[in-house]
Structure 1
Amino acid sequence: MSANDHNTPLPAPAAPAGELRASHQDRDTVVERLRNAAVEGRIDHDELDERLERALTSKTHAELAALTADLPVPQDPEEQLPPLVLKGGMSGAVRGPGRWEAPAYVIAHGGVGGVKIDFSRVRSRLREILVEAYGETSGVTVVIPDGWTADTTGMDPGVGGLRDRTTPDRLPGTPLIRLAGSGGMGGVIVRHPNDKERRKLDENPA
């Protein structure tokens, strides 16, 4: 071992997450949660004042976490959206490709006219979106952007089959499309945009 090895300082161990210093934004986030909890009747006004004072003077994440430990974790607004139900009926049903807010649960019945769900312009912070697809007579097509991936292990291919034409390369922060249901007679397809759809997206970037 050389002399330099003895003189090289060892890196300082990382502080536990709870001991990390809180920022102004961290404190503001807790203050908002406490105020919402008071509005919902979870804590009374005296307790609110006490917790707010402690929140504004907290120095670490652990001190802030203690103030909200007995409160429910707030849901993302997308998780509160009701399920989207699409029924192909006689004339078919299409959702997208314009901008739309996707819920965490989508149910599609292909019927006679078929259903197409196009997530090409959806921006979602959800970790997963469950698509329960029933191909029935004319099938269901699910289009997802590049960088999104699909899990089809929960699908029954039925007579019409299941065709997964997606790539496994998932970008960070994108939702997983989890498919369930049955292909029925018409089958279920999940894929990325085709050439024609890509041209339309390029022509209308908004």
Structure 2
Amino acid sequence: MTSLPEDPKRLIREDDRDTAVQRLQDAYAEGHVSHEELDERLHQVLIAGTHGALASALDSLPARSAGTTSTIAVAGGRIQRRGVWRVPRFLKVESAFGRVHLDLSRAVIEHAAVDIELQLGTGRAKITVPRDATVDFEDLRTGWKDSVYRNRRHSHSDGPRIRISGTMGFGRLKIRHARR
């Protein structure tokens, strides 16, 4: 998961606001904030325009536990997930020399947003997302080849938001929407 940027004057995006709302809801469900405090902080998040204002609404919340990120790692070889599988909220994929294929088209996605962090050396990665998903990979840094993604013209906004971040060395990332 990417944290809030260092620049508190930077304007927030809607997915930053959504992440903050989810974090507050999780804190309430875990008993870290009262109902009144949740209402007050949600109001702050909804009217926030900058990361500084957003951060002040999240102050004093406990840090996310380390167990909320699932990691798949191999030195070489292939990482492949397809068919019916449960996608965690935060997924970290690490491979030094292998190929990665994540097929989310039939996966169980229980969250409105899924953060996938790629840490890849060489090799290529292919991610198939559900038809109605929206994809954001602005935070992905590539060393050699550009990522390949064609945005859907008739994208439905009710699908999950897939955010891809991290670093790719000499491989190429190809993202496509499922056909059905």
| TM above 0.5 | yes
Are 1:69 and 2:35 an aligned pair? yes
Shift of 1:72: 6.6
Match of 1:112 in 2: 97
Identity of aligned residues (%): 22
1:1-206 equivalence runs, <5 A:
69-70=35-36, 82-96=68-82, 98-167=83-152, 169-193=154-178
Give the TM-score, by structure 2 length: 0.57
Structure 1 vs Structure 2 CA RMSD = 3.0
Shift of 1:164: 1.4
> Cα–Cα, structure 1 residues 88 and 190, in superposed 2: closer, same or farther, change >3 Å?
farther
Q: Deviations over 1:9-48 (max 9, x none)?
A: xxxxxxxxxxxxxxxxxxxxxxxxxxxx9xx9x7xxxxxx
> Cα–Cα, structure 1 residues 102 and 141, in superposed 2: closer, same or farther, change >3 Å?
same
Describe the SS at the equivalent of 2:163.
strand
Describe the SS at the equivalent of 1:178.
strand
| Count of aligned pairs between the two proteins | 125
Larger Rg: 1
Query: Do 1:162 and 1:183's aligned partners in 2 also have CA atoms closer than 8 Å?
Result: no
Query: Do 2:133 and 2:157's aligned partners in 1 also have CA atoms closer than 8 Å?
Result: no
Further displaced range: 162-171 or 140-149 = 162-171
Give the TM-score, by structure 1 length: 0.51
Is there any run of 5+ residues in structure 1 with no aligned partner, and where? 1-36, 43-67, 74-78, 202-206
Structure with greater helix percent: 1
Structure with greater strand percent: 2
> Cα–Cα, structure 1 residues 136 and 169, in superposed 2: closer, same or farther, change >3 Å?
farther
Describe the SS at the equivalent of 2:109.
coil
2:94, 2:125 → 1: CA distance? 7
Amino acid at match of 1:69: H
1:163, 1:136 → 2: CA distance? 17
Shift of 1:169: 3.8
Structure with more relative contact order (C-alpha pairs < 8 Å, separation 6 or more): 2
Query: Do 2:101 and 2:125's aligned partners in 1 also have CA atoms closer than 8 Å?
Result: yes
